[in-house]
Structure 1
Amino acid sequence: MKVARFHAPGDIRIEDAPEPVAGPGEVKIRVRNCSTCGTDAKIYKFGHHHIRPPRVMGHEIAGEIAEVGDGVAGWAPGDRVQVIAAIPCGACEECRRGRMTVCPNQESMGYHYDGGFAEYMTVPAKVLAVDGLNRVPEGIGYAEASVAEPLACVLNGQELARVGEADDVVIIGSGPIGCLHVRLARARGAARVFLADINAERLAMAADLVRPDEAIRAGEGDLVDEVLKLTGGRGPDVVITAAASGAAQQQAIQMAARQGRISFFGGLPKDAPIIQCDSNLMHYRELTIVGANGSSPRHNAQALRLIADGAVPVADLITHRLPLERVLDGIGIVTRGEAIKVTVEP
């Protein structure tokens, strides 16, 4: 079979590999779709401290079961499934308290285990042990199911930021995560949703699909002033920084309404993780800043339901479908911001 293996920064190779065999507690799946994201692009360029090459990449995975290992109950060949990306241990203090997104022993598909840029892959027993293998509901395809993983992360972020009815929400960053945030905020009852980006072409492409109440070109004038004008000087109830931008995080603090919630959804580069924070704004406006780190198995299952129910449509966000042999083209498209969502079909 064919796989896409990471060997070193700048070195991902399409290679031949033997088909895996499902071991005890595992299932083997025929990968139908594995979508790409900005993390794949960062791994390609810089590597990752959790990846010991060579490693098959890909963590937004959907396919059908081809083989069931010994001791696996409730699953059979032909079952359509979606696989979690982040694997909590299920046993530590955080997991026991229900905080699986911050499990200190967390492992990941495509990092610690071979991922979905392959024709076949095995799902580790650890995934099944934490209910991380989900049935794909009838009526949605594998490509849509693969988007459940990033939607699960978005769901975690909006739960932490308490996005809800009557909120004005600003999302900074119009990539696939930003688009999912727009749609989920609407599904959660937000009154108005504004989308901002410095990339005019990507903003226009995203706005055409997800139809925010206003698309704001962040590079043309003062973003904070523009948002304050749109909200009658009050500011938004929630600001989500869906971009790896320290400037955006600082702007979020400046624009948030009294008792506003700010989600630092996009992490910052390791060499520039420090921002300036106006502590008096935090204090007198009673602002809340929350982080957002991946998703739990529960979030993945809920994301699939949101897609299947039509509450958060994702099919139209998949702008590019590529064969496995073109995975590097897909990563390049993501890097250049020329797509909303790119999916690989091994």
Structure 2
Amino acid sequence: MKIEKMRFGVLTEKGHAEVRERALPPVGPEDVLVKQEACNICTTDYQQWLGQREGRGYPMASGHESSGIVVETGEDVKDLKPGDRVALAYVTCGICDGCKRGTGCSNNEIGPKKVSGDGYRGMFAYADYAVRPARALIKMRKDLEPGEAAFMEPLAAVVKGLSKLRVQPLETVVVVGAGTMGLLNAQAARALGCRVIVSELMENKIKTAREMGFEVIDGNVTDPVEEVKRLTDGKGADAVILAVAATAVNRQAFELVKKLDGRILYFGAAYPAPELSIDSNVIHYRRLELIGTFGADLADFCTAADMLNQGVVRVSALIEKNRYPLDRIQEAFAEAAVPGKFRVSVLL
């Protein structure tokens, strides 16, 4: 049976998501038709639902943490076949110098920058079917749950950040924030041989971090700076990953990191933007490195897929128990926006 329509979730205004239908684009020679199984609601998506990212525009057919099953492939697609489980990487042009090198697309139009011919923004990841360039799909293990396979994209962003941070085995890394991205960072750093200490305030996140086997600092009862000093014999951390963005956390990072040659990775973003103020002489004399990270390159997606496929990083605890069908996407966004939640998965 030929599939001609796709049903998809779309944000039409602040606080409102609904399901619409449109014609399915044709499958070109280098394209793949995917029966999408799950899309997890990213922070970026629910922040727009909350009205915090209105600049992204409407109507927003958002989502980018998705996985599905290959239904049909174009005639020039060699590495994928019907029945393969795949996860979505970035949809790139495939022809610029950055794409050829695998280091990022110079003409990247992913996410809110991508506008379809019928006026929708976004990647249509909350959809039952989608046509994707084969270069934007990476094969995943068939027995992974769909929502777990969909973690490839956020984990790729973690891999990119850790590569910029240059973590080494036996280093002590402090992750501030035990939300979804914090615990992805913590697991990946541990997989690279680091000692990982997690600092958090919310009870459910503290519980999850401890269940994952991490050393956890409850910031409600213990001063994180003093505890990190105690746990490191007064030295401080080799590196700090800020998986939450807040002015207070920005200040705290300089006290958590060791006196000389420490590195701080700014992984998270917040709206309105938190403040960062420090005497540049401190950076100079302490030889500090302040590192920003965003997105991922092709190699990062491949590494993230391997980590999930081999079970090096496990994400089942980072998915909320309530799963929502596409027709209940408004309820899914409402739950995802509740403070303290991990990923909410929309089943397609």
Q: TM-score range by the shorter chain?
A: 0.7 to 0.9
Rounded to whole Å, the distance in 1 between the matches of 2:28 and 2:284 is 54
Task: Spell out the pairing of 1:244-259 with structure 2 (5 A cutoff).
Answer: 244-257=245-258, 258-259=260-261
Rounded to whole Å, the distance in 1 between the matches of 2:79 and 2:250 is 45
1:58 aligns with 63
Is 1:196 the counterpart of 2:199 in the alignment? yes
| 1:114 aligned to which of 123, 132, 143 | 123
1:97 and 1:68, CA in 2 relative to 1: closer, same or farther beyond 3 A?
A: closer
Q: Which amino acid aligns with 1:155?
A: V
Runs of 4+ in 1 over 6 A off after TM superposition: none
| 1:82 aligned to which of 80, 83, 87 | 87
1:6 aligns with 11
Q: Which amino acid aligns with 1:132?
A: A
1:167 aligns with 171
Structure 1 residue 76, shift from structure 2 partner: 3.0
1:87 and 1:248, CA in 2 relative to 1: closer, same or farther beyond 3 A?
A: farther
Q: Which amino acid aligns with 2:127?
A: A
8 Å contact from structure 2 (residues 175, 199) kept in 1: yes
Q: Tell me whether 194-203 or 242-251 shows the greater mean CA deviation.
A: 194-203
Q: Which amino acid aligns with 1:117?
A: Y
Rounded to whole Å, the distance in 1 between the matches of 2:94 and 2:70 is 24
2:345 aligns with 343
Q: Which amino acid aligns with 1:300?
A: F
Q: CA RMSD in A?
A: 2.5
Q: C-alpha offsets along residues 173-204 of structure 1, whole Å, 9 cap, x if unaligned?
A: 111111111111110001x2111123233322
8 Å contact from structure 2 (residues 168, 193) kept in 1: yes
8 Å contact from structure 1 (residues 260, 288) kept in 2: yes
Say which SS state the counterpart of residue 319 (structure 1) adopts.
strand
Q: Which amino acid aligns with 2:67?
A: A
1:186 aligns with 190
Structure 1 residue 275, shift from structure 2 partner: 1.0
1:227 aligns with 228
Structure 1 residue 152, shift from structure 2 partner: 0.7
Say which SS state the counterpart of residue 228 (structure 1) adopts.
helix
| Paired residues, number | 334
8 Å contact from structure 1 (residues 59, 110) kept in 2: no
1:241 aligns with 242
Q: Tell me whether 40-49 or 2-11 shows the greater mean CA deviation.
A: 40-49
Q: Which amino acid aligns with 2:196?
A: V
1:211 aligns with 213
What percent identity do the matched residue pairs reach? 31
Say which SS state the counterpart of residue 55 (structure 1) adopts.
coil
Task: Spell out the pairing of 1:313-328 with structure 2 (5 A cutoff).
Answer: 313-320=314-321, 321-328=323-330
Structure 1 residue 11, shift from structure 2 partner: 2.3
2:155 aligns with 151
1:22 aligns with 27
Q: Tell me whether 285-294 or 38-47 shows the greater mean CA deviation.
A: 38-47
Q: C-alpha offsets along residues 240-294 of structure 1, whole Å, 9 cap, x if unaligned?
A: 000122321221122211211110000232x435311243332222111111111
1:280 and 1:234, CA in 2 relative to 1: closer, same or farther beyond 3 A?
A: farther
1:51 and 1:120, CA in 2 relative to 1: closer, same or farther beyond 3 A?
A: farther
Structure 1 residue 90, shift from structure 2 partner: 5.1
8 Å contact from structure 2 (residues 320, 341) kept in 1: yes
Rounded to whole Å, the distance in 2 between the matches of 1:253 and 1:90 is 40
Rounded to whole Å, the distance in 2 between the matches of 1:337 and 1:114 is 26
Rounded to whole Å, the distance in 2 between the matches of 1:97 and 1:78 is 29
Q: Taking structure 2 as the reference length, what is the TM-score of the superposition?
A: 0.86
Q: C-alpha offsets along residues 37-86 of structure 1, whole Å, 9 cap, x if unaligned?
A: 211111212375774532322101110122334544443332221111x3
1:87 and 1:311, CA in 2 relative to 1: closer, same or farther beyond 3 A?
A: same
Rounded to whole Å, the distance in 1 between the matches of 2:294 and 2:75 is 33
| Structure 1: gaps spanning 5 or more residues | none
